[in-house]
Structure 1
Amino acid sequence: MKANLTHVALHVVDMEASVDFYQRYCGMKVIHERDNRHICWMAEVGREQEMIFVLMVGGQPVQHNEPDYAHLGFAMASRDEVDRIADMAREDGVLIWPPREDPYPVGYYCGVKDPSGNYVEFSYGQPLGPGAEDADRGLRD
């Protein structure tokens, strides 16, 4: 049996703020809306049939107990892109983990809080996504 991960569904506190966040920070776009925008499907451009976020109105703010690394992860094409996200998040007041380098397979990353309180990691140098070629040191071994 082979299962493929196709979507993650999240309750959000504020749909408009959440859609704006994932558009600005992640380059995602709305690909489907239901129930007067109480449910939005979002995807990365070019990956609309591979992996999506389903955002649903009705969530409570996420509370994290520190240290808590529960997060959604996005790979970036360079360290500079991670730094750009961190700068934007710092300016917006939502930076939770300043850019840092951790040992393989973690790489270089920063963390940002979305409007519902979910932690979102932006990384470079992990063995998956953009930059994987530079970091591939046999994670599958």
Structure 2
Amino acid sequence: MKPAFTHLALHVLDLEACIAFYRDYCGLTLVHEREDGDAKGGSRVVWLAEPGKEKDFIIVLLPGGPGRDQAEDDFSHFGFALESKAAVDAIAARAEKAGCLAWAPRQESYPVGYYCGLKDPDGNFVEFSYGQPLGPGS
């Protein structure tokens, strides 16, 4: 059997703020929660997933991270596909009002498409795109 990519785990500085961000902006839901006495900085560990994809891929958030000071020219990011350019514009407008817009919407050549970037509460970049060959709009 070939390996299957099932999850990504992040130590985060503010667990509650990160849960709220990924719920509000990315549409993820809390699908599992447990206490872990070995977790650095706290004991609550949460799993977030897209509705209906809880057995395919999750983001695990662990408390006690140092926070991330990602440089503006470091384009490491999490990517979420949206259904239209208007949806990208709408999420960018929300993020700008909230003070977490990192990259204004822009159009790039295929396969990048139309996208914007936000910074999550821990300092990670999160991209929202339309027109990539992945997800909705592909």
- Report the TM-score, using the length of structure 2 for normalisation: 0.92
Match of 1:61 among 58, 62, 67: 67
Alignment partner, residue 78 of structure 2: 72
Alignment partner, residue 21 of structure 1: 21
Task: Name the stretch that deviates more: 35-44 or 115-124.
Answer: 35-44
Q: Summarize deviations over 1:50-107 as a string: whole Å, max 9, x none.
A: 1100000011121122311000000011111111110110000000000001111100
* Equivalent residue letter for 1:35: E
Alignment partner, residue 40 of structure 2: none
Following TM superposition, by how much is the alpha carbon of 1:26 offset from its aligned partner in structure 2, in angstroms? 0.5
Partners of 2:92 and 2:129 in 1: CA distance: 11
Following TM superposition, by how much is the alpha carbon of 1:27 offset from its aligned partner in structure 2, in angstroms? 0.6
Alignment partner, residue 116 of structure 2: 110
RMSD: 1.2
Alignment partner, residue 135 of structure 1: none
Partners of 1:65 and 1:7 in 2: CA distance: 25
Partners of 2:101 and 2:114 in 1: CA distance: 15
1:33-112 matches, cutoff 5 A: 33-35=33-35, 38-112=44-118
* Equivalent residue letter for 1:103: S
The 3-state SS of whatever aligns with 2:79 is: strand
5+ residue gaps, structure 1, are 133-141
Partners of 1:116 and 1:52 in 2: CA distance: 18
Partners of 2:13 and 2:71 in 1: CA distance: 19
Partners of 1:44 and 1:3 in 2: CA distance: 21
- Report the TM-score, using the length of structure 1 for normalisation: 0.90
* Equivalent residue letter for 1:12: V
Q: Which runs of 4+ in 1 moved over 6 A?
A: none
Alignment partner, residue 136 of structure 2: 130
The 3-state SS of whatever aligns with 2:132 is: coil
Percent of matched pairs sharing the same residue: 54
